[in-house]
Copies of this chain bind each other. A is one copy, B any other.
């Protein structure tokens, strides 16, 4: 099953986000070689040109670095990944707050809604 894109937004931007997410989740290890443009293109079901553009952008942001003849490697600066992680986390929080915000919940309902979050997250880490 190839990756599912929202056709209303540029595909190469969605690819960039996806690769960043996978990286901060540990699916691509720091300093390790990323799948080649062609392989990743095939895996996500997109045109290799589109994937090449995504890799180019990621390199421009210094999220990956491509070495001629060797391939592309995840940035090995931990602060860079941490910043990305924080950015993704805050984006998720922002969307959550905006979806919840105009639901008309009263204070008690908000408490009940938020209470399990910490627990679920800690449990996930056990």
Contacts and interface: CB of A to CB of B under 8 A. Distances in A.
A99 B107 contact: no
Q: Chain A's interface: helix, strand, loop or mixed, by majority?
A: helix
Interface string A82-126: 000110111011011101111111010110011011101110100
A85 B105 contact: yes
A104 B20 CA distance: 13
Interface residues of A, number: 36
> How many copies of this chain are found per oligomer?
4
24 contacts: A4-B8, A6-B6, A7-B8, A24-B103, A24-B104, A25-B104, A26-B104, A85-B103, A85-B105, A85-B109, A89-B103, A93-B96, A93-B114, A93-B117, A95-B96, A96-B96, A96-B117, A97-B117, A100-B121, A101-B120, A101-B121, A110-B118, A110-B121, A110-B122
Top 7 A-B pairs ranked by shortest CB distance?
Answer: A96-B96, A101-B124, A92-B99, A25-B102, A97-B120, A89-B113, A4-B8
